[in-house]
Amino acid sequence: MKSFQYVVKDPLGIHARPAGLLVKEAKNFSSKITIKKDDKEADASRLMAVMALGVKGGMQITVTAEGADEDAACAAMKKFFEEQL
């Protein structure tokens, strides 16, 4: 299992457009990717679950990848967050 923490820099947080791109990116991997904010956790491949987290700018999240390609998944998700959010 690989994970990293990230503070969302986009002032709007994870809103509809980046959430859709995030889900699309997560579906490229066989590993289970989850996003955790406080005590809530969501499967990164499910748009409504990601949106339900209500992540706003300045909030810290933890992204976890677990599975066969977890190294690649974690690296790709970290790059996605740095470039998009």
Residue positions annotated with a catalytic role? 15
- CA proximity to 33, closest of 85, 7, 68: 68
First-last CA distance in the chain: 23
- CA proximity to 19, closest of 53, 47, 57, 56: 47
- Report the alpha-carbon distance of residue 69 to residue 50 in Å, rounded: 21
